[in-house]
Amino acid sequence: MVQYTVPTDLMSRRHPKGFQTKTISKTRSTKSQHVPLKLDTLLTELLFEILDWMELKDALRFRLVSRRFAELVLLAPSILKRALRHIKAPLPYSPKPIQSLSGKETISLCRRAFALEENWKRKLDRVKSKSFFALHRPYHLALAPGGRYLISAYHSTSGSEQYVGLYDLENPYGTALIASCPTRSPIDSLTVTWIVNKGRQGIAIAWVRELPFEKRATKVAGTEVVVLFISLEDIEALTNPHHGRKESPFEVLFSRQWKVGAIRLSLANDTLAVARSPGTLTFYNLEDGRRSAIELPDLPHSTMSDPVIFATKLLCDGTALVIRGESGHSQTLNLHAIEAYQIPLWGTMHQAPMPLQCNYVHANQTNYTISEMYRRQPTCDNPSEEEIAEANGYYPAVTICVESSEPNRGITQYRLYPTREPETKESEARFSYIWPVTVWQGHYSEHDAFRTRTRSLAGADRSLGFPYTAPGRALTPTLGEFMVLSSFGEDNIPSVALPQPLESDIIQCVAWDESSGKLVLSTAGDLKVWVLDFAV
């Protein structure tokens, strides 16, 4: 039965006040009732077939034709995911499996990947930026891979209390602090990554802090290492402003104190590496508490009995990268070593093993930074053997940044590139890194000779360098621009200007997530935190 509403008087169209209606009933056949539904379904299926034959970039442009087409693309995430499998652009990190992403999340992932690829080629001299008031003064910043969640170590308004807080930068209600945890005293370093702990995906937050004198168990120098965990499920619940959770969402996975002062951390794949000077490297399983250790051998031809560990990193080929050496006067060249050690089995300890790979350099700078990316984001949840081989096992390049040794002024980078070792009679094909390290140096010109220092943020594909003039002891440098250094030997190094309000301010701390192209900075002049996005 189909009902039509018609005017009782055609002349009433001219007189709306006298407009009256009545219902006329008309019966039509069952066959004709389904024709519009079938036609609509046919058109939808036809558009889905067209989408399935499109390349991913064309499918994203297809959304712009009309609202109807945009809705169709949202309803076809499986088509986008099949096309996603064939793109060559690096993907931002996704904490969720690719197959579980919604249409909107898949589109966002694809758009960011393509925008980053295009903007890197264009070599932008200024990027899109936004800011928000943190309400507290941060002194350490770190971005979780993917760029959505920012972890900040900050002082309270009075300055008497210290916290670690979790911000959601892409919250639909606006950037907000969604969780925090006290640290009792200021921390010295902050390390953040995604891990899977007891079947739960979440963010691990590790820090090193020097214990206040009154908190030390013994009256000697004391240092504490703590690892917190917050699950993705809890994070998503806390992003809702109407959540009713009152208990702390953080779980302590690791907490330990040592008498030594110099400690370096690396966190990846549910494993914590703790490097303690002069030469102890300990690995902890954050899920079941097992551990193993390496007592590093003495450096050859070294005049110092107690070298210093400058940095460490867990590599996805089952080795640990260690940078150590003599920490002498800056005017003299000292022996530094870049080494790779096999991670021992749980419950074992290796005494002075020979490194698997090693490079010795002479330098007088010790501010080493290592790229943090552990593994690249695959384009699907179950890649084939051919896809894994083509992507070199999704191993990222490893970049080590340090200031050039005097009298040169500039940046020195040591790079490790992944490779696939062919199958032999003794062993199967496997992925590893090419040694010795590739050395790249960039020196300032005579025009920029006044720039005597560079603050570096190492990245697997692109590193950032912040040049500045070395100030007096009581001053903090101002940064007006930064450089983008490619890890693939490009000679053209673009400079990117900071937002205009930052050009005369003092940059206090920075965080860089190259998978999403986001750079976060905090200033000393106010309580603003700036987010610079290369994908916009």
Domains of the chain: residue spans and CATH = 40-120 (1.20.1280)
Cα separation, 371 vs 437, whole angstroms: 14
* Among the ranges given (16-30, 216-230, 426-440), the one the predictor scored with the smallest mean pLDDT: 16-30
The number of residues making up the chain comes to 536
Predicted model pTM: 0.85
Q: How do residues 411-464 score in pLDDT, each as one tens digit?
A: 899 999 999 988 877 778 889 999 999 999 887 776 666 666 788 999 999 999
* Res 268 pLDDT > 70: yes
Q: What 3-state class would DSSP assign to 74?
A: helix
- From the CB of residue 289, how many other CB atoms can be counted at a distance below 10 Å? 10
- DSSP conformation class of 529: E
**pLDDT winner (highest mean) among 30-44, 52-66, 442-456:** 442-456
Higher local confidence (pLDDT), 296 or 306: 296
Q: How do residues 128-141 score in pLDDT, each as one tens digit?
A: 999 998 888 899 99
The reported pLDDT for the residue numbered 375 is: 94
Q: Which of 402, 268, 288, 393 is nearest to 347 (CA)?
A: 288
- Which region, left, alpha or beta, applies to residue 527 given φ > 0 means left and ψ of -120 to 50 means alpha? alpha
Q: How confident is the model at residue 178 (pLDDT cuts 50, 70, 90)?
A: very high
Q: How do residues 312-358 score in pLDDT, each as one tens digit?
A: 999 999 999 999 988 765 567 888 999 999 999 999 999 999 999 99
Q: How do residues 490-514 score in pLDDT, each as one tens digit?
A: 667 788 888 888 877 778 889 999 9
Task: Give the β-pairing of 349-351 and 291-295.
Answer: parallel
Query: In the chain, what percentage of residues exceed pLDDT 90?
Result: 44
Cα separation, 278 vs 335, whole angstroms: 15
